[in-house]
Amino acid sequence: MNLLRLLLMLLMIYIDKMCNKMIKRNQTYIVTISLILTLFICAVAALHLGTITIPLTGGLQSILQGLGLAVSFTEPISTDQESVLWFIRMPRLMVGLLVGAALAISGAVMQGVFSNPLADPGIMGVSAGASLGAVIAIALGLTSLGAFYMPVLAFTGALLAVTVTIVLTWDNRRLDTTTLLLAGVAISMLLGAFSSGILTMLNEYRLKEFLFWMVGGLDFRRWDHVAVAVGPITIGSIILIMLGRHLNVLALGDTEARALGMPVMVYRIVFLFLASLVTATAVCVSGSIGFVGLVVPHIVRLLVGPDHRLLLPLSAIGGALFLVFCDTLGRIIAQPIEIRVGIMTALLGAPYFLYLLHRLRRQGGA
Amino acid sequence: MKLEVQNVSVSLGQRQIVKEATFSVKAGEFVGIIGPNGSGKTTLLKSLRRLYPVEQGSIAWDSMDINQMSEHDLARRVAYMQQSVNIAFGYKAEDIVMMARYPYLKWWEQERKEDKAIVEEAMKSVGVWHLRDRSMQALSGGERQRVFLAKALAQQTDALLLDEPTAALDLVYADDIFYESRRLCDKGKTIGIVVHDLELAAKYCTTLILMSDGHIVSTGSPKDVLTAEHLHQAFHLNAAVYEDPYFKQQRIYIFPRNMVDDLVHNCVDTVHSCVDVYNKSCSNAHYDKEEDLV
């Protein structure tokens, strides 16, 4: 018994030494572990808190039973609580995780592709295209016919906008990033003008409907939304993470990447297409939520450096965490009113980002 | 690796930048490309690495036409270093050098142990290994250029193309880069370098290519290329070119543009006679010593 205790102690000393070594070498491990832990806590809180509080142990039991495990260690939760957990909070949490991860990862990719820290997921006209799709759906009254007309139209609009931007910029087998950026802005403005034009002709009720979509939110998300989003977002994100090393090279600019033997145009289009696909999926299930794609990659970059092999997966975790946190806080902070998540992300993200920049400048980094 | 350039012309947009360039380079040569601004030096260098498409003519590395080579193949044979790279993010110096291993990896692979060893060796040989964990944005211009030189080395190519690597550097760093490059050539690498400092070019390069307005004015050893007539032809300037009698190296004195021709001729004559006198006195001294010995 004593021997066992001694062994355990040695093991703990060893682990402690290893941890110290890791801390000295870089922050990456700590950042990763704390991000995952915080995400877990946030997810639990998101399921637990709200107008109806769901007991932690009871909720866990319900989830485990739902997963097919016949366990019973506490008294079961009421049917009301169960339906809130399974049909409101769980899908909302899932959509939040997916959308947050999608926006952050595509923001990081766009910033890498354009070698520009100010790029955001909507830079290629994705958001404007999705908005126009949504406006058309609302104007034609399709939203009252079924919940899926709007996402489908938004998705189509988003991908069309990106395709048009790329095709217009494509010149002589080249795709210049500066031109692409400007073309994206121009297309966004043009589509924005169309959207505004249609909006001025709508009645007040429909206008409000659009405004709600515009601000972005996770309320009334169902398992259907999860089902729609999970495929494109996970597949797109996994491929993007796998290609992280190439994004590192691409971010050094055209000449440098080509001098290293990279088929620059092929990779640029692959990255732009995948990032746009992921963004479009996110936007069409949750409306346009700003700030996640811009701020989260920045924060993660400040924490672990610009290597996209780390930056992309950690941005995904960070984005999911940030969105779920904002959504949960927005739900409980001013009960019974709910502050929409799009507002919360900007309210929390902007000051924190400014603080981080300030601190880094004082340290002489950035 | 030897290089054959036959009758090459390169156009950017409507303008023809390089016009019918023909030259050849043997393995292990250190070739300096010199000429005034806008004479097509960088364009020529970039087209040697297929970064610009060649309009007519042919470029062949080791008798292999450049257009027949795959991207990866070319990147494993010829490295190219830009004048300056605008780095948007704070990559560490080691990350940057590690990117040189790109052409050796399949698209799904990550860097292996041997790649790390190669990177370490390259960084040590240029003397930037101690900067490996520093962000590129926190390095000085000279340190940054040396990191990029290490990157070009880690690419393990037989040929290196350097585009004005010393443009923003002080005298010592510039000399360092040239010294380093010359050492590599002596070990068998072929290096092409675009350079503005003619004396630096004369000091280290084995061959010079003088360009003017897209044409090659002259190629050959620094002594043959750096003459007053050639410089007048390329730069439209009056200069006295003489060999430094002590270091045996080409020196160039540029006369102000508005100086009268007669005065220039007088000055040139004076310089040359001074050098002659010095040389004679040196050789006499040499004789004296020998006689003393006898």
Query: What is the distance in angstroms between the Cα of B200 and the nearest Cα belonging to chain A?
Result: 26
The model's pLDDT over A20-58, given as tens digits with 9 standing for 90+, comes to 555 545 678 888 888 899 999 999 988 888 888 888 888
End-to-end CA separation in angstroms for chain B: 49
Q: In which domain, by residue range, is A355 found?
A: 28-59+79-363
Number of structural domains in chain A: 1
d(CA A138, CA A127): 16
Residues 6+ apart with CB under 8 A from B219: B23, B207, B208, B209, B210, B225
Q: State whether residue B33 is helix, strand or coil.
A: strand
Rounded to whole angstroms, the Cα distance separating A16 from A7 reads 14
Q: Closest to B102 (Cβ–Cβ): which among A243, A249, A309? A: A249
Q: CB distance from B135 to chain A under 8 Å?
A: yes
* pLDDT for the residue A115: 85
Tokens of B226: 């750096």
Of residues A144 and B81, more confidence is placed in B81
The per-residue b/e assignment along A268-298, b for 16 or more CB within 10 angstroms, e otherwise, is bebbbbbbbbbbbbbbbbbbbbbbbbbbbbb
pLDDT at B119: 92
pTM to 2 decimal places? 0.85
The continuous run of DSSP H or E covering B192 comes out as strand B190-194
Query: Could you read off the pLDDT of B17-65 as tens digits, one per residue?
Result: 998 899 999 998 999 999 999 888 999 999 999 888 888 889 999 888 9
More confident residue, A289 or B290: A289
Asked if A351 and A338 count as a contact pair (C-beta separation under 8 A), the reply is no
- Residue whose C-alpha is closest to residue A188's, from A119, A137, A127, A146: A127
For residues A151, A155, A158, A161, the Cα torsion angle rounded to the nearest 10 degrees is -120
Q: Is B72 on the interface with A (CB under 8 A)?
A: yes
Q: In degrees, to the nearest 5, what angle opens at C-alpha B210 toward C-alphas B209 and B215? A: 105
Mean pLDDT of B99-124: 89
Q: Quote the CA–CA distance of B238 and B235 in Å, as a whole number.
A: 9
User: Has residue A202 been placed in a domain?
Assistant: yes
Best CATH choice for the domain B3-225 from the list 3.40.720.10, 3.40.50.300, 3.30.465.10, 3.90.1150.10: 3.40.50.300
Q: What is the secondary structure of A176-231 as a DSSP string?
A: -HHHHHHHHHHHHHHHHHHHHHHHHTS-HHHHHHHHHHHH---TT--HHHHHHHHH
pLDDT tens-digit readout, B206-220: 999 999 998 999 999
Pick B85's closest partner by Cβ from A112, A253, A301: A253
Q: C-alpha angle A49/A51/A52, rounded to 5°?
A: 75
For testing the chain B interface, which of A256, A265, A315 should be mutated: the one with the most B CBs within 10 Å? A256
Q: Is the pLDDT of residue A366 over 70?
A: no
Q: What is the pLDDT of residue A16?
A: 60
- Interface check for A357 against chain B (CB to CB < 8 A): the answer is no
Structure tokens, B218 = 């002259």
Average pLDDT, chain B: 87
- Assign residue A358 the CATH number of its domain: 1.10.3470.10
CA–CA separation, B39 and B43 (whole Å): 9
- Residue A336 pLDDT class (50, 70, 90 cuts): confident
Question: What is the nearest CA distance from B103 to chain A, expressed in angstroms?
Answer: 6
- At residue A8 the predicted structure's pLDDT band, cuts being 50, 70 and 90, is low
Domain boundaries in chain B? Answer: 3-225
pLDDT digits (tens, 9 = 90+) for A222-265: 888 888 889 999 999 999 999 999 999 999 888 899 999 899 88
In a domain, A17, yes or no: no
Q: How far is A129 from chain B (nearest CA, A)?
A: 28
Tell me the pLDDT tens digit for each residue of A208-218. Answer: 888 877 777 88
Q: What is the mean pLDDT of residues B90-99?
A: 90
The answer to whether A117 contacts B90, with C-beta atoms less than 8 Å apart, is no
ipTM of the complex: 0.84
Asked if residue A363 has pLDDT above 80, the reply is: no
A272 in Cβ contact with A166 (< 8 Å)? yes
Size of interface A-B (CB pairs under 8 A): 73
Q: What is the mean pLDDT of residues A316-338?
A: 89
| Predicted pLDDT of residue A25 | 56
Query: Could you say which DSSP state residue B135 is in?
Result: B
B90 → chain A, closest CA residue:
A306
- Say if A176 is an interface residue toward chain B (CB within 8 Å): no
Residue A10 lies in a domain: no
Kindly state the average pLDDT of the residues A286-312: 87
Please name which of A39, A37, A19 lies closest in space to residue A29, comparing C-alpha atoms.
A19
Q: Per-residue pLDDT for A365 more than 50? A: no
CB B188 within 8 A of CB B28: yes
Question: How much of chain A, in percent, has pLDDT values that exceed 70?
Answer: 90
Q: Which two tokens stand for residue A68?
A: 């097919």
The whole-number pLDDT of residue B120 equals 92
**Residue B79 touches partner A, C-beta closer than 8 Å:** yes
| Angstrom distances, CA of residue A66 to CA of A43, A97, A221, A285 | 17, 20, 19, 25
Q: Are the beta carbons of A306 and B102 separated by less than 8 Å? A: no
